[in-house]
Structure 1
Amino acid sequence: MKKSRFTEAQIVAVLHEWDAGAKTADLVRRHGVTEQTLYRWKKKYGGLQVSEAKRLKALEEENRQLKRLVADQALNLQVVKDLLGKKW
């Protein structure tokens, strides 16, 4: 997964600035992002504080690791079933 140039704190700061009334065009130009990126950030981080955004990122990482673990276990289980199902 591509690493973002912006930290959660920076993203939340940009969104708070946008909510305070800054113009979209000015924010896009100043921070070097597209309008689409701003709207994607607002969808994901809108209304969050910095600590909440960091917690969200940590939970997403933990979820990613757990999904990988479940996939590995399912694969191991399938291999064992295939081996035990064969007639020797």
Structure 2
Amino acid sequence: MGTKKHKPEEVVAKLRQVDVLVSQGQSVADAIRGIGVTEVTYYRWRKEFGGLKSDQVRRMKELETENQRLRKANADLTLDKLILQEAARGNF
């Protein structure tokens, strides 16, 4: 059975749906089953996305992607700098 990759906006919507179902008197386990995910997935989502709105989640994911790109660029530039320092010392 394949796994489905949920978009962050869908995750926030499902978390809100569970909140609504629980406030209507359903148990948390029944509400989680009602949205079609496991309890582990629900609690992982709640830990990561709990309290955020859809636009905030989208912005958070964009920032994580940008941060990853900048870290890679920083690593590349640091490596280039070290290579140039070695060459300047005459150890090539």
Query: TM-score under structure 2 normalisation?
Result: 0.77
CA RMSD of aligned residues (A): 2.0
Tell me which stretches of 4 or more aligned residues in structure 1 moved more than 3 Å. none
Query: Whose Rg is larger?
Result: 2
TM alignment of 1:1-88, pairs within 5 A: 5-20=5-20, 21=22, 23-28=28-33, 30-31=35-36, 33-86=37-90
Query: Secondary structure at the residue paired with 1:78?
Result: helix
- Aligned pairs, how many? 84
TM-score, normalised via structure 1 length:
0.80
Structure 1: gaps of 5 or more residues? none
Unaligned runs of 5+ in 2: none
Q: Is contact 1:8–1:50 with CA below 8 Å preserved after alignment?
A: yes
